[in-house]
Amino acid sequence: MAKNSSVSASRQSDIISAAIEVFAELGFYRATTAKVAERANISQPYIFKFFSTKEELLLEALKVSWARIADSFSHVVSTVPPERLEEELISAYVRIMYEHRNEVLLQMQAQTIMDAPIVEVMREGFSNIRQMVLDAFVAAGIANPAERTLLFLARGMLCNISMSLNLPELMKLDE
């Protein structure tokens, strides 16, 4: 029985990964579960074994993307000395942007979807990350931690735009 649940969890993860790619490429409204199934090399009905709707699949994909950021930041917070905290959090986010670009694009698109469950997942994701960074900045003794947290998050949003538009000059500090 454990092997079956392991296989099911693996297939569910494959479906979420495929959905992240398809939603990031096509957008939520243009994406179809048929396209997700094709990308995951499964039949479309098999998706519905795990997710009752396309929106439910999007919600899980968003939760995965937020969990990746939270896990990465949590690792930095627990292993990096206070004087390098902000620099290492930025580096961690940049790695996520390049290694999991589709997740970042998915989050950017989800910010424009006003369906209540999607708004709630996005609100919760941002709130959790904001609180994690704020708590870490306070614990590290960083001056003006609320302002620095706001600037950190704003920089992250600018990084997202820079990456999605292939406009690296948005991030240049020495011009």
pLDDT score recorded for residue 169: 87
Domain that holds residue 74: 2-171
Specify the DSSP element, H or E, that contains 41: none
d(CA 89, CA 122): 20
Q: How confident is the model at residue 4 (pLDDT cuts 50, 70, 90)?
A: low
pTM value surpassing 0.75: yes
Q: How confident is the model at residue 9 (pLDDT cuts 50, 70, 90)?
A: confident
Q: How confident is the model at residue 1 (pLDDT cuts 50, 70, 90)?
A: very low
What single string gives the DSSP state of each residue in 58-107?
Answer: HHHHHHHHHHHHHHHHHHHHHHS-GGGHHHHHHHHHHHHHHHSHHHHHHH
Query: For 35-78, what is each residue's pLDDT tens digit?
Result: 999 999 999 999 999 999 999 999 999 999 999 999 999 999 99
Alpha-carbon torsion 38, 14, 109, 156, what sign?
Answer: negative
CATH of the domain at 27: 1.10.357.10
What residues have CB less than 8 Å from 161, skipping those under 6 apart? 167, 170
Query: For 98-132, what is each residue's pLDDT tens digit?
Result: 999 999 999 999 999 999 999 999 999 999 999 99
How many folded domains does the chain comprise? 1
